[in-house]
Structure 1
Amino acid sequence: MTLSDVTRRRLIGSLAAGVSAVSVTSSSISSARAQSAQKTFVLIGGAFYGAWCWHRVTERLEKQGHKVYALTLTGLAERSHLLSRDINLDTHITDIANLVEWEDLTDICLVAHSYAGCPASGALERVGNRVSSIVWVDAIKPADGESFRDLVSFPIEEGAISRPAPKALPPTAFSDPKDVAWVLSKVTPQPIGTWLQSVKLSGARERVAKKTYIRLPKFQLAALDKAAGECKSDNSWTVLENATSGHSVMIAEPDWLTDVLVKAA
């Protein structure tokens, strides 16, 4: 073996080690960036819905490396066997707050759809210090002392403990008949007490740093127009409008909503 052979081998070895070091460093940087960009989402569905309504969005967020907790409120979907006359708004507020507290979640983006704006507003009174952003997706925005029924009137059958799940959907709900069939196969009755009890608020919702409201005007409801209007007049809220989707944008346009959530978190 000549001196030049030794020198050549050392040089090749040094180059290989350098390339390996660069690869490790690049990998570490990419990993660190991905970790720093990771966000935690808590997703709450509206009336008659459970965590199932978020499946498409959950899948997309998790593929991007985010942590996602889609919650089914007591008495609905896979928890429909717990339906009783004792379930009220406080029950659903506790569902949300307990998830956050028992999972030790912080720096959360809390996402509420439709009716869920009521229990989510109440839950912020308990866990608002753990929430860095909120997104109200065509969601009710109650004031202190208001109930869902105060904002959305409906008849009550005497002695009923729940509101029956819908057996049909508006023509504007979904463009795909398969989505209509899937949703109708999943919806369950809504515990009536959750719509009757008023919420107690001290302003925790308004103290959240980043607030986004999404209005889906194909779904016509005065309470949602009112909520969007209030947010538009408040500079602390960002208001977005999607004129192509029905009320359940997480099902109809999951790519669009996923992109909005990541930017809003």
Structure 2
Amino acid sequence: MTTTTYVLIPGFWLGAEVWRPVADALRRRGHLVHAVDLAGMGERAHLAAPDTDLTTHVDDVVDLIEQQDLHEVVLVGHSYGALVATGVADRMPDRVAHLVYIDSGPLPNGIAQADFEGPEARGANQDAVVTHGQGWQLPPPDWAALAAEVPEVDDAAVAALVEGSRPQPWLTATQPVALTGAWERLPRTGVLCSFSLEQLQQMAPHAPVFAHMIDGDWTYLELPTWHWPMVSRPAELAEALGSVAR
């Protein structure tokens, strides 16, 4: 079996540990897996600072790929991690073989993560940053409330999310994406969890933030669950990632 190199990038609030069941399953299949703690997250929580932004996190992953001398990488981004993955691929497309977006996708140039859900959501998050995040951090969500209607996520999984999450530096959400377009020549796979391909195809013509999820070299897999499939359905997510390598 051919060994594939995966780099797994988490979304907001979480570190490399959230990927452990998926990473372990891929390693058992003989693959090389690097799950990333971005600056301020996971075991690198002490590096959080008011100036930690999207560029900081792109630099983190670029540095990992260069220091480990990784090539032909399957670069996997979950949620906000999609912006990091796209930024990395745009900067070093010759090191990336395939992009995988977990319940997420690339944003158009000049758009920030904080803009994705619209001005009302951005305003609410900004208020939370000011009120509860010292003016520069977005507090983690109420994981128990989010998981309340997800049978696959038990109390132990919720406790692990609470333990493993850290406030998100707000500049990572407000710094707009800056891309040259070099990433666009790479093949990409979307793993859709909280919405279907049919819903995506219906939304894309009317919502510019979804435009990059229709145009280009895309394949799609559906894995119906909540937004964090590495917690709710890790075995199936590992199988989906393994299928990309095949």
**TM-score normalised per structure 1:** 0.78
State the secondary structure of the residue aligned to 1:154. helix
1:78-157 matched pairs, under 5 angstroms? 78-152=43-117, 153-155=121-123, 156-157=126-127
Q: What is the one-letter code of the residue matched to 1:55?
A: R
Name the counterpart of 1:253. Answer: 233
Tell me how far apart the structure 1 counterparts of residues 244 and 209 of structure 2 sit (CA, whole Å): 16
Verify the 8 A CA contact 2:153 2:231 in the aligned structure 1.
Answer: no
Tell me how far apart the structure 1 counterparts of residues 24 and 241 of structure 2 sit (CA, whole Å): 13
Give the fraction of aligned pairs with identical amino acids, expressed as a percent: 31
Tell me how far apart the structure 1 counterparts of residues 136 and 200 of structure 2 sit (CA, whole Å): 24
Tell me how far apart the structure 2 counterparts of residues 101 and 250 of structure 1 sit (CA, whole Å): 26
Q: What is the one-letter code of the residue matched to 1:239?
A: Y
Tell me how far apart the structure 2 counterparts of residues 228 and 260 of structure 1 sit (CA, whole Å): 25
Q: What is the one-letter code of the residue matched to 1:216?
A: C
Name the counterpart of 2:174. Answer: 196
Change (3 A) 1:205 1:258: same
How many pairs does the alignment contain?
226
Name the counterpart of 1:44. Answer: 9
1:6-45 matched pairs, under 5 angstroms? 34=1, 37-45=2-10
Tell me how far apart the structure 2 counterparts of residues 184 and 223 of structure 1 sit (CA, whole Å): 30
- Residue 161 of structure 1 pairs with residue 126 of structure 2: no
The farther-off stretch of 98-107 and 169-178 is 169-178
Verify the 8 A CA contact 2:53 2:173 in the aligned structure 1.
Answer: yes
Name the counterpart of 1:24. Answer: none
State the secondary structure of the residue aligned to 1:136. strand
State the secondary structure of the residue aligned to 1:80. helix
- Residue 216 of structure 1 pairs with residue 189 of structure 2: no
Deviation at 1:109, TM superposition (A): 0.2
The farther-off stretch of 133-142 and 37-46 is 133-142
Verify the 8 A CA contact 2:108 2:212 in the aligned structure 1.
Answer: no
- Structure 2 gaps of 5+ residues are none
Name the counterpart of 2:159. Answer: 181
Q: What is the one-letter code of the residue matched to 2:189?
A: T
Q: What is the one-letter code of the residue matched to 1:162?
A: Q
Change (3 A) 1:90 1:150: same
Verify the 8 A CA contact 1:215 1:228 in the aligned structure 2.
Answer: no
Deviation at 1:140, TM superposition (A): 3.9
- Structure 1 gaps of 5+ residues are 1-33
Deviation at 1:134, TM superposition (A): 1.1
Larger radius of gyration: 1
Verify the 8 A CA contact 1:166 1:187 in the aligned structure 2.
Answer: no
Name the counterpart of 1:263. Answer: 243
Q: What is the one-letter code of the residue matched to 1:151?
A: F
1:55-100 Cα distance to aligned partner (Å, 9 max, x none): 0011111111110000010011211111110101110010111111
Instruction: Please report the RMSD computed on the Cα atoms of aligned residues, expressed in angstroms.
Output: 2.4
1:209-228 Cα distance to aligned partner (Å, 9 max, x none): x3100111269xx9996599
Tell me how far apart the structure 1 counterparts of residues 163 and 65 of structure 2 sit (CA, whole Å): 29
Deviation at 1:102, TM superposition (A): 1.1
- Residue 58 of structure 1 pairs with residue 39 of structure 2: no
Verify the 8 A CA contact 2:116 2:209 in the aligned structure 1.
Answer: no
Tell me how far apart the structure 2 counterparts of residues 263 and 230 of structure 1 sit (CA, whole Å): 25
- Residue 241 of structure 1 pairs with residue 222 of structure 2: yes
Verify the 8 A CA contact 1:231 1:237 in the aligned structure 2.
Answer: no
State the secondary structure of the residue aligned to 2:191. strand
The farther-off stretch of 225-234 and 148-157 is 225-234
Name the counterpart of 1:20. Answer: none
